[in-house]
Amino acid sequence: MFIVNSFSIAVVLLFITMLCWGSWANTQKLATQKWPFQLFYWDYVIGIFLCALVLGLTLGSSGEAGRPFIEDLLQADQSSILASFLGGVIFNLANILLVAAIDIAGMAVAFPIGIGLALVIGVVVNYIKYPIGDPLMLFVGVLLVVIAILLDAKAYKNISTRNTTVSSKGIGLSLIAGVLMGFFFRFVADSMSVDYTSPEVGKFTPYSAFFMFSIGVFISNFLWNSIVMVKPFSGEPVKYKDYFTKGSLKLHSIGWLGGIIWAVGMSFSLLASEKAGFAISYGLGQGATMVAAIWGVFVWKEFKTADTKTKKLINMMFGFFIIGLVLIIYARLK
C-alpha cells in the first residue's frame, strides 16, 4: 500500500486535509439552496463511503509496504473493528449536531464553541495516548488557532444581520457536537497500528481503518439523519420520497462531491499520522475553520461591506492562525 515516508510529505498531506475539511461545506451551500440539508447529507455520506472503498482498492492495494487492503480488513480483530466503526458513528452524530447548531445559533456561535472545543479535546486526548511532539509548542499552537477561531466568530457576528439573541438549544447542541467531534479521531487511532510498514497483527492500517469508519458513518446515518428528518431542530420534517422525486443528478452529484472532498482529507490525515502523530494530525486538520473563512472572505465575498474594525479582526485572525500552524508543525521537529 502507499504510505508516507517523511514528515515533510506528511505536512503537505495535512495541509490538503485542512483544505478538504474547510471546503466541503461549499457543496452544502450550493445544494441546500435547492433542497434540505438532510437530503444533501445522504449523498454526502455516500460520497465518503465510496471514496474510502476506492482508495482502499487502489492506493491501499498497491506497493510492497504494509498489508493489502482486503487482507488487512480480514485479519483485523474485533476491538479494532469496533473502535473504527464507533469512530464513524460518533463523527456522524457530531457533524449533524454541529450543522443543526449553525442553523439555530449561527456560525458565529456554533463554530467557536463546537470546533474550538473539538480542537482542544482532540489534541489533548490524542496526545495523552500517543505523545508525539513537543507539548509546549503543540499546545501553544493550538491555543493560537483557537484564538483565531474566536476572532473569526467575532468578525462574522459583526456582519451578521440575524437576531443576536442566541437560544440555549443552539449553545447546547454546539457543546455536545464539540465534545463528540473531539473524541471520534481517538477511536479511529486506537484501531490502527502505529507502524504502517510492518503493521501489528489484528490492527488496521489507514485504508482499512478509514473504510470501517465510513461503514460506521453510513449505517449510523439511518439512525441520526432519520431522526433529524422526522424531528428537525428547526424547520419542517423532511420526507424520504423527496430524495428520489426532487433530487436531480446535479444535486446528487454535489452531495457526492462534498463527501469525497471530506473523505480525501480524512484519509490523508490518517496516512500522515504515522510520521506526524495523531495529535498533530488532528490539530492541523481542524484548522479547516480558517480555510472556510478564506472561502468566505475571498470567494463568497462575505466581508465585502465590512467596516474597518471587522477587517482588522480578519487580518488578526489569519495572523494568529498562521503562527499557530507553524508552532504545531514545529512541535514535531523539535
Give CA–CA dist 86/98, Å, rounded: 18
Domain boundaries, the chain: 9-134+163-286
Count of C-beta atoms within a 10 Å radius of residue 246: 13
pLDDT digits (tens, 9 = 90+) for 36-52: 989 999 999 999 999 99
- Give me the pLDDT at residue 333, please: 85
Q: Which residues of the chain have pLDDT under 50?
A: 162-165
Give CA–CA dist 157/169, Å, rounded: 18
* Residue indicated by cell numbers 471514496: 51
Contacts of 291 (CB under 8 A, 6+ apart): 18, 19, 21, 22, 23
- Give me the pLDDT at residue 163, please: 44
pLDDT digits (tens, 9 = 90+) for 199-222: 999 999 999 999 999 999 999 999
- Give me the pLDDT at residue 275, please: 95
Q: What is the pTM of this model?
A: 0.91
**Please, how many CA atoms are within 13 Å of residue 321, restricted to the half-sphere of its CB?**
25
- Give me the pLDDT at residue 191, please: 98
- Give me the pLDDT at residue 304, please: 84
Give CA–CA dist 76/27, Å, rounded: 35
Give CA–CA dist 160/163, Å, rounded: 8
